[in-house]
Amino acid sequence: MDPAVERSGFPGPDAPSPEKIGACVHCGLCLPVCPTYSQTKNEASSPRGRLYLMRAISEERIPLSAAFGNEMYLCLGCRACETACPAGVEFGDLLERSRAQVEEALPRPLASRLSRRAVLQSLVPHRRRLEWVARGTRLFQRLGLGAWLLGSGLLEGRDGLRSAIALIPPAEEIVVGGPGPGVHARRADGDRRVGFFRGCVMDAMLGGTNRRTVGLLRDSGCEVNIPDSQTCCGALHLHSGMREEAKALARRNVKAFASGKDDAVICNSAGCGAALKGYGELLESDEESAGEAKEFAGRVRDISEYLSDLPTRRTPPALRGKAVYQDACHLVHGQRIRSAPRALLDEVPGLTLVPFPESDSCCGSAGIYNISRPSSALEILDRKMEFIAEVDPDFVIAGNPGCQLQLALGVRRRGLRARVLHTVDALSGGGEGAS
Ligand code: SF4
Ligand code: SF4
């Protein structure tokens, strides 16, 4: 065993770094922005409290217990604490590493291990399988089975499943499959060539948004390369403590985009973008891929970041109405992108962007948090929807598919009239939206 690991109370490789944990100066400035601290008022459920626990385990003062595991998974991973932190504590990285240690130290029951493997290893990284699931889901909705199950009482006590079904959009909003692989020619003057990272859920279920993303790029003078060998970004694996599986996916993506011809790799999903930008760190000890991973990570751009940096842009089509913009956590806190999407949306003729309180706090989606911790996620969502209801917007806009689905659930729960759109859809005159 690595001596560094032996000295730590963490049992596995890639343990949270004591130096990074020690960067916390215990000032408490992160506490007011932490949704789980706001809910519980319990120090252990705050960023500072979680860092204390990590440190105590790292220094072998306490064992890695189930209570620690619970705190690591009660955390949303929203990274609002990182933005608030004056000491630059890299909480997201420490959390992901801690979760991997929890998985190593406290093996899950067999049923849980099998279901995680079925979803995260046998489904999510396989585009064709995901598309078949998306088709099945669309049929499920078309036959009214979702609504029937939710009203039947059969899901009593099965809150996670109930929550997963409640999140499924109506059949007409499920668009299976995005733009095909290959090189898509530019439709305006320009000399840029970009790669496009299509994501998994986004491409399989919300494929219309991916097609419009490629359309926006082509209309901005970009040739768009979509390598077929790309796969899932691994964000869900990292959030679930499956670090080795995430690394394997990262290596495949680094290779897929290694042609050297693309100026940038564009992503329209905040969660994927944050994970892709973290590949340099994820693969830093990888002899073969470390250099390429760092170079790749440096080329990744969120679509809003990329478009707002272009010297000239086509005026978007009109979209009439009042809109609120919800900052996806992995865009605003994970990638520090706040003004770019707003600046682009301000250019949409007829669209009025209305600010609302706490637009940069989590909506409760947080990867699969809304399925694994449904009651806590709904409490967080309902608070957000109260603020949104006061604006009574025509559109709720966000730059991440998980947030879109969660906010659409919030709109349905509150009976609001708003349509929920991805930023790209709002810049393209509408799209299917979600309601
Ligand atoms: S990531 Fe979010 S939920 Fe977790 S400690 Fe930080 S602010 Fe709190
Ligand atoms: S804001 Fe940063 S330094 Fe202050 S307690 Fe929170 S994590 Fe520690």
Among protein residues, the one with the nearest Cα to ligand 1's atom 2 is 78
Among residues of the chain, what percentage have pLDDT more than 70? Answer: 97
pLDDT at residue 201 in the model: 84
Ligand closest to 98 (CA) is 1
pLDDT tens per residue across span 301-348:
999 999 999 988 888 999 999 999 999 999 999 999 999 999 999 999
Report how far residue 116's alpha carbon sits from residue 237's, in angstroms, rounded to the nearest whole number: 9
Could you give the CA distance from residue 150 to residue 204 in angstroms, rounded to a whole number? 24
Q: How many angstroms does the Cα of residue 84 sit away from the middle of ligand 2? A: 8
Q: What is the number of alpha carbons within 13 Å of residue 181 lying toward its C-beta? A: 10
Closest by CA position to 213, among listed 303, 276, 328, 305: 303
Is the Cβ atom of 78 under 6 angstroms away from ligand 1?
yes
What CATH number should be reported for the domain whose range is 3-105?
1.10.1060.10
Residues 6 or more apart whose CB falls under 8 angstroms from that of 430 comprise 319, 421
Which residue puts its alpha carbon closest to atom 1 of ligand 2?
85
Report whether pLDDT(179) > 50.
yes
Tokens of 13: 């490789």
How many CA atoms, within 13 angstroms, populate the side-chain half-sphere of residue 99? 22
Any ligand 2 atom below 6 A from CB of 79: no
Task: Identify which of 10, 2, 11 has the alpha carbon closest to the alpha carbon of residue 53.
Answer: 10
The CA dihedral of 408, 409, 414, 419, to the nearest 10 degrees, is: 10
Parallel/antiparallel/unpaired status of strands 192-197 and 222-226: parallel
Q: Is 102 in the pocket of ligand 2 (CB under 6 A)?
A: no
Given pLDDT bands bounded at 50, 70 and 90, which one contains residue 430? Answer: confident
Domain ranges of the chain: 3-105, 182-309, 321-426
pLDDT exceeds cutoff 90 at 239: yes
30 lines ligand 2 (CB under 6 A): yes
190: confidence class by pLDDT, cuts 50, 70, 90 = confident
pLDDT(248) > 50? yes
* Percent of the chain whose pLDDT exceeds 90: 86
Sheet holding 300-302, edge to edge: 182-184, 222-226, 192-197, 264-267, 300-302
pLDDT digits (tens, 9 = 90+) for 104-153: 999 999 999 999 999 999 999 999 999 999 999 999 999 999 999 999 98
- pLDDT given for residue 25 in this prediction: 97
The answer, yes or no, to whether residue 435 has pLDDT greater than 70, is: no
At 1, is the pLDDT very low, low, confident or very high (cuts 50, 70, 90)? very low
Write the residue with the smallest CA distance to atom 8 of ligand 1. 34
> Which of 27, 90, 94 should be mutated for ligand 2, with most atoms under 8 A from CB?
27
Q: Is the CB of 91 under 6 A from ligand 1?
A: yes
Mutate to test the pocket of ligand 1, among 76, 85, 372 (most ligand atoms within 8 A of CB): 76
The residue among 203 and 27 whose pLDDT is bigger is 27
What is the Rg, in whole angstroms, of the alpha carbon atoms belonging to the chain? Answer: 21
CA of 46, closest atom in ligand 1:
5
CATH fold for the domain made of 321-426? Rossmann fold (3.40.50)
- The alpha carbon of 307 and the centre of ligand 2 are apart by a number of angstroms equal to 33
Q: What is the pLDDT of residue 2?
A: 42
Asked if residue 70 lies in contact with residue 109, where contact means CB atoms within 8 angstroms, the answer is no
- Virtual CA dihedral for 387, 391, 395, 397, nearest 10 degrees? -40
If pLDDT is split at 50, 70 and 90, which confidence band does 432 have?
low
Out of 6-20, 22-36, 276-290, 344-358, which region has the weakest mean confidence (pLDDT)?
6-20
Q: Answer yes or no: same fold for 182-309 and 321-426.
A: yes
29, 30, 78: residue to mutate for ligand 1 pocket, most atoms within 8 A of CB: 78
Phi, psi (rounded to 5 degrees) for 363: -90, -5
Cβ of 27 below 6 Å from ligand 2: yes
Q: Is the CB of 32 under 6 A from ligand 2?
A: no
Q: Is 353 left (phi over 0), alpha (psi -120 to 50) or beta?
A: beta
Please tell me the predicted confidence (pLDDT) of residue 58: 96
- 79 Cβ closer than 6 Å to some ligand 1 atom: yes
Q: Which of 29, 37, 51 to mutate to test ligand 2, by most ligand atoms within 8 A of the CB atom?
A: 29
How far is it, in rounded angstroms, from Cα 379 to Cα 186?
A: 45
The two tokens of residue 154 are 């059969």
Condensed to tens digits (0 to 9), the pLDDT of residues 367-395 reads 888 888 999 999 999 999 999 999 999 99
* Dihedral-angle region of residue 368 (phi above 0 means left; psi in -120 to 50 means alpha; beta otherwise): alpha
Ligand 1 site, residue 51, Cβ cutoff 6 A: no
Residue labelled with tokens 């109930």: 162
- Can you tell me which atom of ligand 2 is nearest the CA of 91? 7
Å from CA of 149 to ligand 1 middle = 33
| Contact 393 CB / ligand 1 (< 6 Å) | no
Question: pLDDT digit string (tens) for 10-29?
Answer: 998 999 999 999 999 999 99
Average pLDDT over residues 22-49: 97
Sequence-distant (≥ 6) Cβ neighbours of residue 145 within 8 angstroms? none
Q: Which residue among 33, 36, 73, 333 is best mutated to probe the pocket of ligand 1, counting the most ligand atoms within 8 A of its Cβ? A: 36
What is the rounded distance in angstroms from the CA atom of residue 378 to the CA atom of residue 410?
8
- Rounded to the nearest whole angstrom, what is the distance from the C-alpha of residue 372 to the centroid of ligand 2? 27
Domain covering 182-309 assigned CATH 3.40.50 in the classification? yes
Q: Is the CB of 84 under 6 A from ligand 2?
A: yes
Residue pair 78/329 in contact by the 8 Å Cβ criterion: yes
Q: Measured between alpha carbons, how far is 400 from 327 in angstroms, rounded to an integer?
A: 9
Sequence-separated (6 or more) residues with CB below 8 Å from residue 46: 30, 31, 34, 36, 37
52-73: average pLDDT: 96
Atom of ligand 2 nearest to the CA of 23: 3
Across the strands, what pairs with 265? Answer: 195, 300
Write down the pLDDT at residue 312.
80
180 φψ region: left (φ > 0), alpha (ψ -120 to 50), beta (else): beta
